[in-house]
Copies of this chain bind each other. A is one copy, B any other.
Amino acid sequence: MKKKTIKVGLLGFGTVGGGTYRMLSTNAHTISYTTGLSIEVTKILVRDLSKKRDVSAPDELFTDNPDDILKNPEIDVVVEVLGGIHPAFDYMEEAIKAGKHVVTANKAVIAKDGPYLTQLAIDNKVILRYEASVGGGIPILNALSTSLQANEFTEVVGIVNGTTNYILTQMAENDMEYADALKQAQAMGFAEADPTGDVEGYDAVNKLSILISTAFGVRVAPEDIPREGITNITKEDMAYAKQFGYTIKLLAHARRYRNTLECSVQPAMVPLGHPLATVKNEFNAIFAKGNAVDDVMLYGKGAGAMPTGSAVVGNLLEIARAYAFGTTDRTIPTAVNDNVNLQFDGEGQNMYYVTLLAEDMTGVLGKIATKFGDAGIAIKSFVQHPSTKQTGRYVPLIYILGETTRDRLNEALEDISGFTFVKEIKSVICVADLDR
C-alpha cells in the first residue's frame, strides 16, 4: 500500500476546529499506522488573522480568504466547523461542486439541507460525512447507517443536548432551581451567555431531524418537530418526579407505528432504572430499537473540543481509507426513503404528569377527576401534598395521567382551570414511554 497524504482545508478554528487540529497532531502516529496514510491540515480559514488562539498552529496555515481552500486544487477534503447556516452552507456547496469531500459538524445546515447536500455529493462523486453533528464524539450516525443498517428501526430516543442535561442533573442532584442551575452551567462553560438555542430545544430538534433521516430514511424539518424547552421545570417537579420513581430529562424522541412517525423534543419523566436516567451532566446518549438488534444505546460526551474532534477525525479516516482502497465515490443515500411512505404525525399519545394548585375543600378532587374522565383520560397515580407558605390556602395536587394526546389533555386542563377552586395548572410534563 503506497503512502499518500490527504490534504485538508479547515473552515473555522474555534472549539471544534482547534480540537480537530490538536487531535490530528497528537494522534498522527496512530492515524498513519492504522490507515497507511497521513492527514495534513494545509489551510485554516479564520475571520480575524490577528486573533489570539488557544491552540497554536503555524502562521502560514491561516488565511481569511475562503478561496484559498475552496479553489485550492491541492485540497482533498474540506472540514467545515464554522457553525451557523451562512456562509457554512455556501462553502460546503462550493466545495462539493469543486469535487472536494466534505466533513462537517454543522447540525443546523445538515438538518436543513442534508438531503440536498447528500444528493449533490452523490452527483459529484464525493463523500459527505457529519458524524459530529449529533452526539459529539458518540458514533451514532455511523452505527445506524453501517453496522445496524439492516434493522428496521421503530424508535430512536436520546439525550442529545449537554447543556440542558447538565442543568437538569444539577437540579435533580443538588435540589436547585432552574435559574441557579443555569447560572452554574454558564460559570462552568456548559451554557452560553444566551442559552436560548439549548434550553428551548432548538439545538435538539436539529439533531433529532438528522437522527430521523438516518434511522427512518424520512425527512422531518426541524421546525415541524413539536418542541418544548426546560425553562418551566421547577425544583418541585424534580422532587415529585423522584417520589414517583422518575427523573426529568430533555428527550428527543421519534417513534414509528406502522407507517406513522411521531416525534418530539420535550422534557419527559424517565424511570430511574432506565439507562437514560443514569446519563448525567454533559453526557449524551442515544437509544435505538431495531427489529433485530432490539435495544441498543450509545453513550458519551456530546460536546467539547476533543470529543467532537474525535468524530470529525473519524470521518476523515473513513475518507482516507476510501483513498487507500481507490474508491472515494461512497456517499450513501440515507436522507430519503422512497419505499417507505411514513406519515409524520406530531407527537402521538403519552402519559402525563400534571400538577395544579386547588383550594382544600370537599368535592374538588371528584370534580377534577370527572373532567379527566369525561375527556377519556385515566388517573394512574395521585398525590395531594399539604399546603405550604408558598402555596397559601391552596394545596398542590400531583397527577400521573394515562395515555392521551396533548391536545385532548390541554382541552381537559382548560376546563379544569375554569373551576373557581383551581388557582393554576403549574406543570405539564410527559412521561416517557420507554419500552423497558
CA distance A311 to B149 in the complex (A): 10
- Pairwise interchain contact A325-B329, C-beta atoms closer than 8 A: yes
Whole-angstrom distance between the alpha carbons of A78 and B311 in the complex?
32
- Chain A window 290-305, contacts with chain B (Cβ cutoff 8 Å), 1 for yes, 0 for no: 1111111111110010
Contact B131–A31 (Cβ < 8 Å): no
The answer, among B24, B301, B327, for a CB contact under 8 Å with A327, is: B327
Most-contacted residue by chain B among A31, A147, A314 (CB, 10 A): A147
Indicate if the CB atoms of B151 and A292 lie closer than 8 Å: no
Contact with B along A304-347 (1 / 0, CB 8 A): 10110111011111100100011101101010011100000000
- The segment from A137-145, A232-240, A253-261 that touches chain B is A137-145
* Contact for A290 among B283, B310, B315, B337, CB less than 8 A: B310
Chain A: interface residue total (CB-CB under 8 A): 68
Q: How far is the CB of A148 from chain B (nearest CB, A)?
A: 6
A139 touches B147 (CB 8 A): yes
A298 partner residues in chain B, CB cutoff 8 A? 143, 296-299
B314 & A148 in contact (Cβ 8 Å cutoff): yes
**Contact across chains for B299 and A137 when beta carbons are under 8 A apart:** no
Q: Do A292 and B317 touch (CB < 8 A)?
A: no
List chain B residues, Cβ under 8 A from A388. Answer: none
14 chain-A/chain-B pairs, Cβ below 8 angstroms: A26-B291, A27-B152, A31-B150, A33-B337, A33-B339, A139-B143, A139-B296, A142-B142, A275-B279, A293-B307, A294-B306, A297-B299, A325-B327, A325-B330
